[in-house]
Chains A and B, each alone.
Chain A
Amino acid sequence: MKINDNEIVLQLEKNPEKGFCLLMQRFKEPVYWHIRRIVVSHSDAQDASQETFLRVFRSFNDLRNKESLTAWIYRIATNEALRLIRMRIPDTMSIDSAEGDIMSLRADEYFDYSNIEAVRLQKAINTLPPKQKLAFTLRYYDDLSYNDIAEVMDSTPDNAKMNYHIAKNKIINYMNSND
């Protein structure tokens, strides 16, 4: 059963230890996978996940609208993942091209090349511009609402929706033209 965000917030305020357990139970896997889709390599995703949760706990009191816990956590996770990518790429390379190239650069032993369709789909996702990629992965894999996606992206729900649909069409075109 999915744990309610309100319950997690309540527990974090009342009993931080129990709140920590609930929050980890609810978010540790989705947050890791969200980061992993951005940074690709397992060890980078592990580092960024740790930093994300440390930041979440240390700055929990800064969360203004406690109802948007999910969006807030995904936003921190996204920022941590992008920060890590920036640290890894040379100054001469843009973050967009680094993300596009990332499949060939940062694959590791926890990457299953035998699943050809899944590999192609990730390659297609990695060809997208950052906002489209973010909107698509948050909607497709994490089932976030457009409101939450907009909060993560610091945008509007309409803009999040538009980015998602453009991304989806681009992926379909990529998958159909790269057989």
Chain B
Amino acid sequence: MAKKFDFNQIGKEMPYSVPQGFFNELENSISARLQIPAAESRPKRPSAVRILFRGLTAAAAVAAILATTHALWPNRQQQPSMTLEQAFANLDISDQEYLLDTYSDVSYISDQL
């Protein structure tokens, strides 16, 4: 007599498997994907201390630029109208890039550069 199928004998067995450690990796990758948009959606806002520090640093940079141009051009008296823009133009490319990167968000400097 043919054996009748019985759900109790097979139970919940399935012919499927997963790689080792799969469920932990699944949780980690979902967690990582959930954090990405959260970080992107919140724009970084500089703290008050950082803004003050940037302002002071920018002022120091302006002073440094003016002092440098004064030292390089002793006959500056003949060029009394040298502007910050001209002083900036006289710097090395790398120095210009550094200043732009560092002070691009300080409005009174970036406006002039």
Contact = CB atoms under 8 A, between A and B. Distances in A.
A163 B51 CA distance: 66
B17 A28 contact: no
Given A37-B14, A111-B17, A171-B5, 6 more contacts: A28-B27, A32-B26, A36-B16, A110-B17, A110-B19, A119-B15
A115 B18 contact: no
Contacts of A53: 30
A46 B26 contact: yes
Nearest to A116: B15
Q: State the 3 A-B residue pairs at the shortest beta-carbon distance, nearest first.
A: A175-B5, A118-B15, A112-B15
B44 interface: no
Nearest to A17: B31
B33 interface: yes
A121 B9 CA distance: 12
Interface string B75-106: 00000000000000000000000000000000
Contacts of A49: 26
B31 A20 contact: yes
Contact of B30 (A24, A36, A117, A121): A24
A47 to B, nearest CB: 11
Interface residues of B, number: 23
Interface of A: 20, 24, 28-29, 32-33, 36-37, 40, 42, 46, 49-50, 53-54, 57, 110-113, 115, 117-119, 121-122, 140-141, 168, 171-172, 175-176, 179
B68 interface: no
Contacts of B27: 24, 28
A20 B5 contact: no
Given A50-B33, A121-B10, A115 B23 contact: no
B42 interface: no
27 contacts: A28-B23, A28-B27, A32-B18, A36-B14, A36-B16, A37-B14, A40-B16, A42-B19, A53-B30, A54-B30, A57-B34, A110-B16, A110-B17, A110-B18, A110-B19, A111-B17, A112-B16, A112-B17, A115-B13, A118-B14, A121-B13, A122-B15, A168-B7, A172-B5, A176-B2, A176-B5, A179-B2
**Interface-centre pick from B5, B23, B34 (highest chain A CB count, 10 A):** B5
